[in-house]
Structures are given as C-alpha cells and as structure tokens.
Amino acid sequence: MQEVKKVIKKEIASLVKPLTKIKSVKGILVYGSAVKKGIQKGHDIDLLVVFDDTCKDDGMEKIKFFINLITLKAKKQELILHFQPPKPLSFFWKLLHKAEPWLISALRNSIILYDPTELLKVTKKLIASGKLYSIDEKAERLMARAIEEFIEVRKILMKAPWILLDTMTIAGQIMLSYLGIFTTSANETKKMLEKNKEKLGLSNAYIDFYDDLIKINEKIAKGTLSEFTAVEIDKYTFKVKVFIKESENILLNLEKETEKRSIKEAYDYAIKICERALTRLGKVPKNDKEKIELFKKYFVDTKKIKAIHYKTLEELYNYVKGKAKKKPKYVDKVYLKTMEIAINKLLKK
C-alpha cells in the first residue's frame, strides 16, 4: 500500500510539472484528507499553488490554463485533483500573519511537491515546532496558560484577567472574520459583536460578560483595582469556558452557512450557463427543473454536450432545493468552467 501511495505521489508531481516552469510559481503542495488518510485514486486530492504577485508578469493566465489542463488530464489517470484558487505570495503572508486556521492546518498536514525557495518547507517547520499556530489553537493555549498560572503569585493573578480577555477577544475575532469584519482591539471587537449579534446568534450574556472583562482590565491598567482573588479567577474561568463553547457552536453554524452560500453561488452560476445554452432553442422556461431537463433532452441526450454537465446541474439543484443533504460532488469551479467552455463552443457553431 505504501508503495502504491508513493507511485501516486510521483504521478501528481509529474502532472503539476508544467506549473513549475512558470517563473512566478513559488510553491505547490497537497493538503487535507489526502495527506491524513493517504493519497488514493478515486478520492479527492486538494492542491494549493502559491505565486509571486510582485513580478511584472505574475503568469496568472498560464497558471489557470495549466490548472484546468492538469485537472482534466488527471481524471484520465483516475486522480481527482481539486486546486484551491492560486494564492498570491502577499496574500499568503497576510494569512500567515493573521494565523488563518485553514492555512496553518493545510501546511501542517501537507506534502510539498514544489518549493524552489524552501518557503513552504521553512513555514511547515515553524508550525511543527509550535512557533506558528492558528487563531483557534492560540485561544486554547491561552486558556490552558491562564488556568496553569492562576496558582502563581499576585502579579500572575493580576495578569489572569488579561489572558481571559485575550481568549474572549480571539474567539470574537474568529466569529467576526466569517462576516468579513476584522478588529484589532477588545473594545472594537465588543462593539462589532454587539452590532452583529443577531447575525451571529450571539447571546446578550456573552456581550455583557465580555464588557465586564474589558472594564476589569481597564481598572487594573489604571491601578484602581489592586486585588483579583483566586475565587474570582475560578468564577471568571468557568464563565469563559461556557462562552468559548457558545462561540464554538456559532462557528460550526457559520461554517455550514458559508458552505451553503458557496454552493448556492455555484448553482446560480451553473443555471446561468444552462440558460445561455437554452437561448439557442429560443425558449427559456422560468422553472429551473424544466431548464435542466430541457438541457438534458436537447444537448446531453443528443451527445452535443457531455453527461457530466447535466450531473453538475442536477446535483446542485437537488442540494439547493433541499432534495439532497450530501454536498454536491461537482460543486468545484473546475467543473463549472469546463461546462461553460463546452457551452461557448456549442453556441459558436
């Protein structure tokens, strides 16, 4: 089995070789479940390409072209490759600076295929040594550190409220990031959480406790609060744990909503492509199901367009309309782009 995985890795490295010829490409890696469970044919394999956007010619068009070509070529070898949108080097550093959980996790569990400057190798080494970690991991570490330090001297006791506040702030910042809101301070985070509490489904108790922690730390900073006992720390630690759990549940819902929104956008995009094809018939039904069936009848059944494009529409439709719970297999933009290219060719005939 191990030998088989090595062969498959070698096949992927060979497939992505054209990308390594592009000057701006600074890294290619495999990440996700393919690394954790092992690279297997017939299973999804996620890849990430990093390119230098400071070059005069970032080679973006070439990168996109080869990604589409490699994806299609891989299918013939029973390899299902899913490329993330290529990440500019400047954005890559920005994500690292923010300790974006997705990127940290991807790099930690990755197989590096191409790394001419050893950028990925060094970053992965820093993550493995614990010198780089994601925001959610940071929150857990701060919580653990706070609990361990509560038994220390008065100086450490007075430091504990700040650690608890920082933990709450990080949790709040993660939630707000799903709304595209980024904050830099506890007061700003509290203000934006209060403003968006209905969107997040955040309780009033969460906001009130967070506000209380901010005021305590302000008093400590001003010197108007000179004592913070172990009993008070126990009480506040318990509350922090409760509210961190609340934020974890909210994050799970936000992730689901983000995924649903992404699939809905893919569906709308696919239906528009379908409508463009149907304009050739001179009639576009209002009902999406009718559009899809007409698409199948006049373009797929007549062999003018491959059946995979009908499957793309059908799977997206069933999921969006609540007829299927399983995430659509063909939601990836590579399938949609391939479908669009096929339609464009048909319309030009």
pLDDT tens-digit readout, 267-287: 888 888 888 888 877 777 788
pLDDT of residue 59: 82
pLDDT of residue 150: 46
Segment 78-97 mean pLDDT: 83
Instruction: Place 188 in a pLDDT band, splitting at 50, 70 and 90.
Output: very high
- The answer to whether residue 211 scores a pLDDT higher than 80 is yes
pLDDT of residue 17: 92
pLDDT (tens digit, 9 = 90+) per residue, 299-349? 888 888 888 888 888 888 888 888 877 777 656 667 777 877 887 887 776
Give yes or no for a contact between 92 and 24, defined as CB atoms under 8 angstroms apart. no
Residue 168's contacts (CB-CB under 8 Å, 6 or more residues apart) are 186, 209, 210, 213, 240, 243, 244
- The answer to whether residue 119 scores a pLDDT higher than 50 is yes
Q: Is the pTM of this model over 0.85?
A: no
Residue 285's contacts (CB-CB under 8 Å, 6 or more residues apart) are 278, 291, 294
Q: Which segments of the chain does DSSP mark as H helices, in order?
A: 2-15, 17-20, 33-36, 60-76, 89-97, 101-108, 119-128, 135-149, 154-177, 186-195, 197-200, 204-222, 230-278, 288-295, 307-320, 333-348
Q: 1-133 belongs to which CATH class?
A: alpha beta
| DSSP three-state, residue 331 | helix
pLDDT of residue 192: 93
Instruction: Place 194 in a pLDDT band, splitting at 50, 70 and 90.
Output: very high
User: Among positive and negative, which fits the CA dihedral 331, 262, 287, 277?
Assistant: negative
pLDDT of residue 28: 93
d(CA 139, CA 145): 10
- The answer to whether residue 198 scores a pLDDT higher than 80 is yes
Please tell me which of 24-28, 100-104, 281-285, 291-295 the model is most confident about, judged by mean pLDDT.
24-28
Both tokens of 288, joined, read: 């999406």
Give yes or no for a contact between 27 and 114, defined as CB atoms under 8 angstroms apart. yes
d(CA 44, CA 72): 14
Orientation angle between helical segments 333-348 and 230-278, nearest 10 degrees: 20
- The answer to whether residue 136 scores a pLDDT higher than 60 is no
Give yes or no for a contact between 343 and 273, defined as CB atoms under 8 angstroms apart. yes
pLDDT (tens digit, 9 = 90+) per residue, 29-54? 998 887 877 777 888 889 999 998 88
- Mean of all residue pLDDT scores within the chain: 80
Give yes or no for a contact between 205 and 211, defined as CB atoms under 8 angstroms apart. no
pLDDT of residue 158: 64
pLDDT of residue 341: 83
d(CA 86, CA 282): 38
Segment 54-80 mean pLDDT: 87
Instruction: Place 230 in a pLDDT band, splitting at 50, 70 and 90.
Output: low
Buried b (16+ CB within 10 A) or exposed e, 63-83: beebbbebbeebeeeebbbeb
Identity of the residue numbered 212: D
Both tokens of 131, joined, read: 């010198």
Question: Domains of the chain: which residue ranges?
Answer: 1-133, 138-228, 256-348
